[in-house]
Chains A and B, each alone.
Chain A
Amino acid sequence: MPDNETVTDLGLDEYKYDFVTDEKPLFKAEKGLSEELVRQISAHKDEPEWMLEFRLKALETFYSKPMPNWGGDLSTLDLDEIYFYLKPQDQMERSWDDVPENIKETFERLGIPEAERKILAGVGAQFESEMVYHSLKEEWEEQGIIFESIEDGLRKYPEIFREHFATIVPPQDNKYAALNSAVWSGGSFVYIPAGVKVEIPLQAYFRVNAEQMGQFERTLIICEEGSQAHYIEGCTAPVYTTESFHSGVIEIIVKKNARFRYTTIQNWSNNMYNLVTQRAMVHENANMEWVDGNLGSKLTMKYPSCYLVGERAHGEILSIAYAGDGQHQDTGGKVVHAAPNTTSQIVSKSISKGTGRSTYRGLCKVYDGAINSKSNVECDALLLNDTSRTDTYPYIEIDENQSSIGHEASVSKVGEEQLFYLMSRGLSEEQAMTMVVRGFIEPIAKELPLEYAIELNRLIELEMEGSVG
C-alpha cells in the first residue's frame, strides 16, 4: 500500500511516467473469458483471497446462467472477441490520431476544452482538475468522507468494503451482474459518514486516478444514517472506446434518514452494448433519486432500481433516453415496495429518431404488508419520424391491497401544428424540431447540474441536425 502522500495517492507520477515511456512490461490480457484471466486480474490488483474467491464463484454463476431472452437483441454480441481486462496503460496506448473524425468533430462543436477531449477519447489523463480535486478532497477528508477508486476502497477500507460489497447486487442476480463480479475493474467507492451533508456534488470526473472508467466498472456507495450527498458520473460528450461492451454494476446503500442522488449521463459510441445493473437499497425514511440519461450505444439495457426496505422510504427514478438511427434504448426503472408507507415515482422520457427504437421497461412490485405504499409511473415517448419506434412494458405486481399504483403512458409525434407555429415565428424547421425536443426533455434537464443541462441541450441540437429533409 502506498504511503498516504497525495501524489502517490492520486497515482499521477506513475501515470505520467507510463505515458511518456513504454519500457515497463505491460499486462495485457487475452481476448475472451477464462478462469485464468480472472485469477490474473485479481493477482494484478493484489487482492485479498476472499475477493479472488468471490470472482471465481461469480464466473461460475456467469457460465451457468442463460443469456437473457428478453430486452434488446444480443445475438451479435460475441464475448470471445472481447478483452475483459485492460490495464489503463493499455488504454493509453491509443493516440489522438486513432480517434475517429466524427468524435473529434463532436468534441469541437460541443466546445469541450482540448485537455478534456483527450480524456473523453481515452487518450490522456486529466491533470487539469488536479488542483480543484485536491482542495475538495481535503475538505471531504475532514468530514470523514471517503471518495476513492473502487480498488483503493478495497485496499484501504477492507472492513467497510467487505461488509457492503455485492450485498445489493449479488452475482446471482443476473448474468451480466455475474460477469461484472468476475472481471470488475475501475469505478468508485464512496462512504458518507452519519449526519454528514455534502454540498458539492461528488463527481467521478474529479476523481483523478489511474483507473479510468472501465468496461466493467463497479461502484459502491454507502450513505450512513442522516447523511446527504449527490454523486455525478459521466458526461454528455460521446465516450469513445475501441471496446464494444460495457457492463457495470452500481450498488448504493441509503441508510435511515439519509438522502442520496445519483446522476449519470452516458453517451457511448454507436458500436457499444451497454448493460448496466444499478440498484439502491433504501432504508427507513431515506430518500434515493436516480437521474439517468442514456444517449448513444448500439443497445443499452439499464433499469435503475430502488428497493424500499424501510418504512417511509422514498425512491425516484428520472430517466431520459435518446435512440438515434440504428440504436435501441431499452431502459426504465424498478421500484420494489417492501415496507409500509413507502413511496416511489418513475418518470421516463424517450426520444426516437430515424430508425431508433426506445423501450420503456419498468417493474413496480408491492409486497404483502407494504401497506399504504404509493407509486406513480409516467412514461412519455416522442417519435420524430415514421420509421422510429417505441414500446412500453410496464410490469406491475401487487400483493398488498392497501396500496395505490398509478401508471400513465403517452406516445406523441412532433406535431405539424407545433412545427408550423414555431416556424411562423421565424424558426427553421430544424430549429423548431429541436425546440420541441428540448421542451420534451426539460423536466429532466432541469434536474441536472447547470453545466450538464447545457451540454445535454447542445448535444440534442447536434443530434437534431439533418433530422428534417
Chain B
Amino acid sequence: MSEHLLEIRDLQARVADGGIEILRGVDLVVQPGEMHALMGPNGSGKSTLAKVIAGHPGYEVTGGDVLLDGKSILDLEPDERSRSGLFLAFQYPAEIPGVSIANFLRTSINARRGEEEGDLDVFAFQKLLNEKLGLLQVQPSFAARYVNDGFSGGEKKRNEILQMAMLEPSMAVMDETDSGLDIDALRIVSEGVNTLRGQDERMGVLLITHYKRILGYLQPDHVHVMLNGRIAHSGGPELADQLEEMGYDWLHEPEPEPVG
C-alpha cells in the first residue's frame, strides 16, 4: 500500500481556551490523487475540520492526529504546514487592503523556496501568473487588485483557486468553494481544479460542500457525511445522489448522543 497523503486519526478539537468541543473523533484517509467530498448539515464540524487541518489558532486539538505524507503536522505552524504542501481554500477569505494579489503570490511563492534556490525571477513569476490567470479565465488586471478587498463572493473564490494554482499544493482542502458562485463561475472554477489535478496526478483534494451541484463537475472518488463532529457515513459518488434525494435525516449518528 502506498503511503497515505493525508491521514486524520481520531481527531478531536474544541474552540481554543476551553470552548465547546466540535470535532469528536474524525477518521479520514486521502490517498495520492484522490478526491474526497465531505458533506453534512450546517454546524456538523466540516469547516472546523478544515481550519484545524490548516492550524487555525482559534482551535485546540485535544486528541488524535493529522498526518501529511506520514508525518504529524499538529506541531507545525500554519506557514510550515503550507510549505509542507497543504493548501486551504477558505470559505471566507480575509481581506488584505493595500496588498496586491500579485505581490502576495510572489511573497508566498518565495516563502516556500529554499535559501539556495533564492527568490523566483520576476519574469518567471509573471509568466507563471499569466498562465494560471489564463487557466481560470481571469483578466490580468485581477492580479493588480488588493487581496479580496471589495471582492464579490465569486471573485474571492476565484482568488482562492488562483492561489491554489500558483502554489501547487500536494493536498488541497477546499472549504465550500462552490458557495456563492454562479453557474459560469462554478464551471470555470471546477475546470480549473480538474486541470490542476490533471497536471499533478498525485494531488489530493478534500472538497467540503453543501451541494451536489459542484459534484457534477468534479468527480469525487469518495463521499463522506459528517454529523455532529464525526464522519457518520462514507461511500462512493452515489452517496451524494442519495443525500440530494433524501437529505441527512436517514443517516444515524454512530452512537446515541444528544444532537447539539
Contact = CB atoms under 8 A, between A and B. Distances in A.
A431 interface: yes
A425 interface: yes
Nearest to A422: B96
Interface string A391-429: 000000000000000000000000111101111111111
A416 B96 contact: no
Kindly state the interface size class of chain A when it binds its partner: 20 to 34
A284 B26 CA distance: 72
Contacts of B163: 425
Contact of A426 (B58, B79, B99): B79
B94 A443 contact: no
Interface string B159-187: 00001000100000000000000000000
Contacts of A426: 79, 82-83, 108, 111-112, 167
Top 4 closest A-B pairs, CB basis? A439-B98, A442-B98, A439-B99, A421-B94
B96 A424 contact: no
Interface of B: 54-58, 77-79, 81-83, 87-88, 90, 93-99, 104, 107-108, 111-112, 146-147, 163, 167
B249 to A, nearest CB: 34
Contact of A427 (B54, B81, B107): B107
B137 to A, nearest CB: 22
Contact of B96 (A418, A423, A441): A418
B96 A435 contact: yes
A435 B107 CA distance: 9
Given A420-B57, A435-B104, A429 B77 contact: yes
Contacts of A423: 55, 77-79, 82
Contacts of B77: 423, 428-429
Most buried by B among A418, A422, A425, A441: A425
Nearest to B54: A424
Contacts of B108: 425-427
A450 to B, nearest CB: 15
A417 B56 CA distance: 9
A460 to B, nearest CB: 12
Contacts of A416: 57-58
Contacts of B57: 416, 420
Contacts of A432: 79
B169 to A, nearest CB: 10
A442 B96 CA distance: 11
A17 to B, nearest CB: 47
14 contacts: A420-B56, A422-B104, A423-B78, A424-B54, A424-B81, A424-B87, A425-B82, A426-B82, A426-B83, A426-B111, A427-B79, A429-B77, A435-B107, A439-B147
Given A417-B94, A441-B98, A425 B167 contact: yes
A274 B107 CA distance: 36
B107 A431 contact: yes
A439 B146 contact: yes
Contact of B79 (A415, A417, A429, A439): A429
A421 B82 contact: no
A436 interface: yes
A438 interface: yes
Contacts of B78: 420, 423-424
A431 B94 contact: no
A127 interface: no
A428 B96 contact: no
A15 interface: no
Among the interface residues A415, A417, A426, A435, which one has the most CB atoms of the partner chain B within 10 A?
Answer: A426
Given A416-B58, A435-B104, A439-B146, A421 B90 contact: yes
A416 B98 CA distance: 18
A133 interface: no
